């Protein structure tokens, strides 16, 4: 039986893990390779690196971190941030990523998803979407690291993105990100009900039962968190135990 994944996310800038409320008040949280290794040992089912600098120099540094991680950490690795072309994607996969997340560039040119899927298979093309609520059951897509609203409707974009070739959606609730008040279950339900691909829930994790809600009520296939893990506020093992106790299938922590 397929297990629901607990995913540890590391925002990386200039070779270091940083975390604020995603884009402001950044605090240095450590060495990405060491943190990724720790999470893998603690039972993380997948690691996500998001390059939040995404400058040309930062990009080279990030690929070096990916290479180092791939040679030491043997769980799946998804890498995003600043991917604008199939060539960027190829370089990221070659460095050792299993999946590559695209965000702003896909909104600007959805054909990018098709090109990447054709070359590398849709199973490794992750569409990352940052969305903020605009009304009852309505959310708007933001780009450029959550700084720029687009006026595009979340559910329509999720559908269009998967039609263009995305094989998975990493959905971040901008309203919940950094709040530790729980995932946006309504938002998750809206997207998981609209597309066929797996959904990674992101933004708002604070307690173990939030992870359970995201899966059971939101229909998420994977649940992602960052700072609650970095600060040891929550242990991955405890999250998985809570999920298992609620009847959600998880991979045993080795």
Binding segment for other proteins among 149-157, 181-189, 194-202, 205-213 (CB under 8 A)? Answer: 194-202
Q: Which one of residues 212, 222, 224, 226 is an interface residue with other proteins (CB under 8 A)?
A: 222
- In degrees and rounded to multiples of 5, residue 149 shows phi and psi of -70, 150
**Long-range Cβ pairs for the range 29-33 (8 Å, 24+):** 29/227, 29/230, 29/231, 30/230, 32/65, 32/69, 33/65, 33/68, 33/69, 33/72, 33/73
Active site residue 11: yes
Residue 119 lies near other proteins (rule: CB under 8 A): yes
**DSSP assignment of 172-211:** EETTTTTT-S---HHHHHHHHTT-SS-EEEES---SHHHH
Nearest approach, Cβ of residue 147 and other proteins (Å): 29
Q: How far apart are CA 254 and CA 252, in angstroms?
A: 6
The phi and psi torsions of 25 (rounded to 5 degrees) equal: 55, 50
Only segment of 55-63, 95-103, 170-178, 182-190 that touches other proteins (CB under 8 A): 95-103
Q: Find the part of the chain contacting other proteins (CB under 8 A) among 30-38, 106-114, 195-203, 230-238.
A: 195-203
State the minimum distance, in angstroms, from the CB of residue 254 to other proteins. 6
Choices 55-63, 69-77, 149-157, 183-191; region in contact with other proteins by CB under 8 A: 69-77
Contact, 115 vs 88, CB < 8 A? no
* Active-site residue, 177 included: no
- Binding residues for other proteins, rule CB under 8 A, total 40
DSSP-derived secondary structure letter, 121: -
Closest C-alpha to 35, from 11, 52, 1: 11
DSSP string, 52-112: SS--HHHHHHHHHHHHHHHHH--S-EEEESS--SHHHHHHHHHHT-SEEEE-HHHHH-THH
115 lines the binding site for other proteins (CB under 8 A): no
Residue 71 CB-density burial (10 A; 0-12 exposed, 13-18 middle, 19+ buried) = exposed
Question: Closer to other proteins at the Cβ: 44 or 174?
Answer: 44
Query: Least distance from C-beta 245 to other proteins, angstroms?
Result: 19
Catalytic residue among 45, 130, 177, 184: 130
1 touches other proteins by CB under 8 A: yes
40 binds other proteins (CB under 8 A): yes
**Cβ closest to other proteins, residue 166 vs residue 226:** 166
- Say whether residue 121 binds other proteins (CB under 8 A): yes
| CB closer to other proteins out of 3 and 16 | 3
Shortest distance in whole angstroms from residue 136 CB to other proteins: 27
Write out the catalytic residue numbers. 11, 130
Chain positions contacting other proteins, by CB under 8 A:
1-5, 40, 45, 67, 70-72, 74-77, 90, 93-99, 118-124, 167-168, 196-198, 221-222, 251-252, 254
């Amino acid at each position: 039986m397929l297990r629901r994944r607990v995913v540890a996310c590391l925002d990386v800038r200039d070779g270091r893990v940083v975390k604020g409320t995603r884009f402001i008040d950044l605090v240095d949280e450590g060495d990405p390779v060491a943190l990724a290794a720790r999470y893998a040992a603690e039972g993380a089912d997948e690691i996500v690196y998001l390059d939040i600098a995404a400058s040309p120099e930062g990009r080279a540094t990030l690929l070096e971190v990916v290479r180092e991680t791939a040679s030491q950490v043997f769980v799946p690795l998804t890498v995003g941030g600043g991917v604008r072309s199939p060539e960027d994607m190829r370089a990221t996969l070659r460095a050792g990523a299993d999946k590559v997340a695209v965000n702003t560039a896909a909104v600007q040119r959805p054909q990018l998803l098709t090109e990447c899927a054709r070359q590398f298979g849709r199973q490794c093309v992750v569409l990352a979407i940052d969305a903020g609520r605009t009304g009852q059951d309505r959310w708007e897509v933001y780009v450029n690291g959550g700084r720029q609203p687009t006026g595009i409707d979340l559910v329509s974009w999720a559908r269009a993105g998967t039609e263009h070739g995305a094989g998975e959606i990493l959905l971040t609730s901008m309203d919940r990100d950094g709040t530790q008040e729980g995932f946006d279950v309504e938002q998750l339900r809206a997207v998981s009900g609209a597309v066929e691909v797996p959904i990674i829930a992101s933004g708002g994790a604070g307690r173990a039962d939030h992870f359970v809600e995201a899966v059971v009520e939101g229909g998420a296939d994977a649940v992602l968190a960052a700072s609650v893990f970095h600060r040891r506020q929550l242990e991955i093992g405890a999250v998985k135990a809570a999920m298992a106790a609620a009847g959600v299938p998880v991979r045993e922590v080795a």
